[in-house]
């Protein structure tokens, strides 16, 4: 540090030099005892860091030298050294532009280093102002004074530019003009013609409401006027003494700086209160953390986000705020921001964003997105991070839902592709049989046996196609969650026996044994479950056992089991068939999966049966699995919940078997059907049990015929008919006939259909294609009920 010391007192100079060298080790001191010597230093070397000037010198005044330094626009601060009791000199020095002063009291050397340092720092900051041009509106009636001032400023304070007017009125005009913004300070003489100085100050402050700094220049002895001026809003005053022009620049600069500072503080306070208002009312939580990651501000929205009042939340540690999984993530990212680290150099001053799981007051958690950035002071030193947290639970939930919807869509797309590939094959094969043999039937000269043979093939192929369609419909119902359970009491032995009877012709043909091992044969075992589904399960498993067994036997049975918590019934279907390799035993329960693809040609199937079976078993509260040895056979098990009280209950005998003879030629039947082939078919199968058959082609006719024939026993009501559909026709018939048995026939095998036809007033429903035995048994069941 290079110091210019202007001091005529040798002892003081010596003391000061020693002190400075002691406290500021690297300093170089140029000492001058007179103004003349000091000027020489300035002529040879201008690069000082600071000047310390004594006021009273043998060849002049230190303040004069201060003016010279300022006049030469030398860029270093000046500290004035005064004797004790000479505070007036200190004040004049400050007004003349000194950066500070020090009174040469005992021990003053000790304070010098601090004063020097702060003078250097302040000087650098104030330099900004000094390099700025300050436009002054000067109101002075005497042109001589104006000239003097302008000349003085041109020489000593060129950064101050004077715009002079002679009267208060002219000054007001200037202040109203569009150029008024350029005037930074007003300097006015206390004697003005017309409107006087006090009046002018009052007008500027009270009428015009301008806050531009005002300096009053008064004559000696006019201090009272100065006091009044200050009261009215003037910022400072200066007495026209001998060297007042030297003082005027610093008075102007001080007033300007003071005013600017105040303006900046006001602006800061205003913007702070604006931001505070914004933060306080923001829906997001805005917070500030210090360098130790402690909260220094947190906005009221924290109450909504985490349930804490801001006063509670501000005291919390980051570790209490975030979940154990999110805490290290938060610390890492926030510390990186504070240390100015970033993933890439160009991102260093940018915001970082993290997703954190935060803890709410009620101990539940909430997912938030936190955007954080660094706060620095004016020297760019980090002082804390500003963060904004936003609740993203909904967004996260939505993303999760979207992902699972996407996965579902992909899964169903895969399913669709598999479905098409499998179904195309499964449908083409029987279709081939139907169309091929129908074509052959047209050939002339076929024997009766040949014809019967071909028809049999067509029938079988049609049956197979129907099975596939039924499977597809079942799978779609399961897929779309449309399957509902209809619980009733079921006699299990009866169900198993019936299933065995159903397959008897098939096993006889294959020459394998089908045994049912019903454990509680003496008693009726009653199970509360869905009859149709249980039947479908049994049929599927027995059908598979027959399909995959070429010799030996198939055994069907069940056991009642108890665990600590509940009883259940465990069914088994054991065969001595081809078996299933252990690595395929799980997969076969999935859709379209067959244990052995190469087996496909030999044993037809779409690979849907077991997946439907599994879905039904699980829907009814049970489990299904297989035990099998490749080449030896398989045992399929499934369980259903069972309540032991129903073990020995007598049930009504089923209505499944019995002869049709009792209905022979008895019933008056109306067939409502718009399709000629279907009508033809119904006529043939219903003829044996009907005394009279009536035929109509639409719903409206059906209603009419029923009105005219109140003795009709049964109506076969097609649902899809022209003019009036079957639902509506049934509703209308029910208005006048509650007893007639109406059986809906529909081609929609989808769920809800049964419900719909029953709501319309039908007694039962049968889906197309119609099975003769099934239809007769339904009719019989309802006739018997009456």
User: Which residues of this protein are in contact with ligand ADP, per CB under 6 A?
Assistant: 544-545, 548, 575, 577-580, 588, 594-596, 605-611, 634
List alpha helices for 282-325, DSSP H.
302-306, 310-313, 318-321
- Nearest by Cα to 686 from 704, 672, 669, 700: 669
Close Cβ partners of 683 (under 8 Å, ≥ 6 residues apart) = 671, 693, 695
Which CB, 236 or 471, lies closer to ligand ADP?
471
User: Rounded CA gap, 206 and 231, in Å?
Assistant: 12
| Dihedral, 337, 339, 342, 348 alpha carbons, nearest 10 | 80
Which CB, 97 or 605, lies closer to ligand ADP?
605
Which CB, 387 or 579, lies closer to ligand ADP?
579
E strands within 417-520? Answer: 487-491, 513-517
Q: How far is the CB of 741 from ligand ADP (least distance, A)?
A: 37
Q: How far is the CB of 410 from ligand ADP (least distance, A)?
A: 23
Q: How far is the CB of 283 from ligand ADP (least distance, A)?
A: 55
Lookup result for tokens 């540690």: 317
- How many CA within 13 A on the CB side of residue 502? 17
C-beta of residue 705 within 8 angstroms of C-beta of residue 694: yes
Which CB, 288 or 595, lies closer to ligand ADP?
595
Q: How far is the CB of 467 from ligand ADP (least distance, A)?
A: 9
Which CB, 548 or 571, lies closer to ligand ADP?
548
User: Rounded CA gap, 441 and 581, in Å?
Assistant: 43
- According to DSSP, the residues that pair with 161 across neighbouring strands are 135
Which CB, 62 or 605, lies closer to ligand ADP?
605
Conformation bin of residue 605: beta by default, left when phi > 0, alpha when psi is -120 to 50: left
Strands 134-139 and 100-103: unpaired
Q: How far is the CB of 486 from ligand ADP (least distance, A)?
A: 24
Q: How far is the CB of 630 from ligand ADP (least distance, A)?
A: 9
- Nearest by Cα to 764 from 693, 715, 707, 696: 715
Q: How far is the CB of 357 from ligand ADP (least distance, A)?
A: 44
Tokens of 35: 């103004």
Q: How far is the CB of 721 from ligand ADP (least distance, A)?
A: 36
**By CB neighbour count within 10 A (0-12 exposed, 13-18 middle, 19+ buried), where does 687 fall?**
exposed
Helix (H) or strand (E) holding 220: none
Q: How far is the CB of 637 from ligand ADP (least distance, A)?
A: 12
Which CB, 639 or 730, lies closer to ligand ADP?
639
E strands within 91-168? Answer: 100-103, 134-139, 160-165
Which CB, 577 or 622, lies closer to ligand ADP?
577
Which CB, 98 or 499, lies closer to ligand ADP?
499
Q: How far is the CB of 544 from ligand ADP (least distance, A)?
A: 4
DSSP codes joined into one string, 659-680: -GGGGTT-EEEEEE-S-HHHHH
Q: What is the 3-state secondary structure (H, E, C) of 1-43?
A: CEEEEECCCHHHHHHHHHHHHHHCCCCEEEEECCHHHHHHHHH
User: Rounded CA gap, 223 and 229, in Å?
Assistant: 10
Q: How far is the CB of 538 from ligand ADP (least distance, A)?
A: 13
Residue whose CB is nearest to ligand ADP in the complex, by number? 605
Which CB, 289 or 610, lies closer to ligand ADP?
610
Which CB, 419 or 548, lies closer to ligand ADP?
548
Which CB, 628 or 690, lies closer to ligand ADP?
628
3-class DSSP assignment, residue 192: coil
Q: How far is the CB of 414 from ligand ADP (least distance, A)?
A: 18
Q: What is the CA radius of gyration of the chain?
A: 54
Q: How far is the CB of 547 from ligand ADP (least distance, A)?
A: 6
- Nearest by Cα to 547 from 587, 584, 594: 594
Which CB, 61 or 549, lies closer to ligand ADP?
549
- Nearest by Cα to 293 from 323, 324, 314: 314
């Amino acid at each position: 540090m290079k110091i210019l010391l202007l001091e005529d007192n040798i002892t003081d100079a010596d003391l000061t030099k020693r002190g400075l060298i002691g406290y500021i080790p690297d300093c170089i001191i140029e000492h001058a005892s007179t103004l003349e010597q000091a000027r020489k230093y300035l002529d040879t070397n201008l690069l000082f860091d600071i000047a310390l000037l004594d006021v009273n010198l043998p060849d002049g005044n230190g303040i004069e030298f201060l003016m010279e330094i300022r006049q030469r626009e030398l860029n270093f601060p000046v500290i004035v050294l005064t004797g004790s009791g000479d505070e007036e000199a200190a004040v004049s020095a400050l007004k003349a532009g000194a950066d500070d002063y020090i009174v040469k009291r005992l021990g003053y050397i000790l304070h010098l280093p601090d004063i020097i340092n702060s003078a250097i720092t302040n000087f650098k900051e104030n330099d900004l102002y000094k390099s700025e041009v300050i436009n002054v509106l000067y109101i002075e009636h005497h042109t001589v004074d104006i000239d003097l001032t302008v000349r003085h400023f041109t020489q000593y304070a060129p950064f101050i530019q004077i715009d002079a007017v002679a009267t208060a009125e002219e000054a007001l005009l200037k202040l109203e003009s569009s150029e008024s913004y350029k005037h930074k300070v007003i300097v006015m003489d206390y004697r003005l013609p017309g409107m006087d100085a006090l009046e002018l100050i009052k007008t500027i402050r009270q009428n015009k409401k301008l806050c531009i700094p005002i300096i009053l220049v008064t004559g000696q002895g006019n201090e009272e006027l100065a006091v009044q001026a200050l009261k009215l809003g003037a910022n400072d005053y200066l007495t026209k003494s001998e060297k007042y022009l030297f003082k005027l620049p610093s008075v102007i600069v001080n007033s300007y700086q003071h005013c600017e500072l105040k303006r900046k503080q006001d602006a800061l306070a205003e913007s702070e209160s604006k931001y505070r208002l914004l933060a306080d009312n923001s829906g997001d939580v805005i917070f500030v953390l210090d360098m130790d990651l402690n909260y220094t501000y947190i906005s009221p929205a924290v109450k909504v986000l985490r349930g804490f009042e801001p006063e509670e939340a501000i005291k919390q540690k980051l570790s209490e705020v975030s979940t154990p999984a999110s805490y290290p993530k938060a610390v890492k990212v926030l510390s990186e921001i504070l240390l100015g680290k970033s993933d890439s150099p160009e991102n260093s001053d940018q915001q970082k964003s993290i997703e954190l799981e935060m803890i709410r007051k009620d101990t539940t958690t909430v997912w938030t997105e936190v955007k954080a950035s660094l706060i620095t002071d004016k020297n760019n030193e980090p002082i804390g991070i500003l963060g904004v947290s936003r609740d993203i639970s909904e967004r996260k939930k939505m993303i999760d839902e979207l992902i699972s919807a996407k996965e579902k869509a992909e899964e169903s797309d895969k399913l669709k592709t598999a479905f098409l590939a499998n179904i195309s094959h499964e449908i083409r094969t029987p279709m081939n049989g139907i169309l091929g043999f129908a074509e052959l039937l047209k050939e002339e000269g076929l024997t009766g046996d040949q014809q019967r043979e071909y028809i049999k093939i067509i029938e079988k192929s049609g049956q197979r196609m129907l099975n596939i369609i039924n499977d597809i419909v079942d799978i779609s119902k399961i897929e779309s969650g449309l399957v509902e359970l209809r619980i009733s009491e079921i006699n299990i032995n009866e169900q198993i026996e019936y299933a065995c009877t159903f397959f008897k012709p098939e096993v006889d043909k294959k020459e394998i044994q089908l045994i049912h091992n019903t454990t509680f044969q003496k008693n009726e075992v009653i199970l509360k479950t869905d009859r149709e589904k249980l039947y479908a399960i049994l049929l599927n498993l027995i059908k598979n056992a027959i399909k995959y067994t070429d010799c030996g036997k198939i055994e069907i049975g069940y056991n009642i089991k108890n665990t600590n918590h509940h009883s259940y019934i465990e069914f088994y279907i054991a065969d001595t068939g081809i078996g299933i390799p252990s690595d395929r035993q799980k997969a076969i329960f999935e859709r379209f999966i067959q244990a052995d693809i190469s087996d496909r040609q030999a044993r037809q199937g779409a690979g849907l049966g077991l997946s439907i079976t599994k879905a039904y078993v699980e829907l009814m509260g049970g489990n299904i699995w297989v035990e099998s040895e490749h080449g030896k056979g398989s045992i399929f098990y499934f369980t259903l919940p069972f309540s032991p009280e129903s073990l020995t209950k007598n049930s009504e005998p089923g209505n499944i078997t019995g002869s049709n003879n009792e209905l022979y030629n008895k019933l008056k039947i109306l067939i409502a059907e718009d399709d000629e082939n279907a009508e033809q078919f119904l006529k043939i199968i219903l003829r044996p049990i009907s005394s009279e058959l009536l035929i109509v082609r639409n719903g409206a006719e059906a209603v009419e015929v029923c009105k005219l024939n109140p003795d009709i026993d049964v109506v076969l009501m097609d649902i899809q008919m022209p003019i009036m559909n079957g639902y509506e026709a049934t509703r209308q018939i029910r208005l006048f006939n509650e007893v007639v048995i109406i059986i809906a026939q529909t081609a929609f095998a989808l769920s809800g259909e049964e419900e719909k036809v029953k709501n319309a007033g039908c007694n039962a429903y049968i889906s197309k294609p119609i099975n003769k035995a099934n239809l007769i048994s339904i009719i019989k069941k309802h006739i018997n009920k009456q």
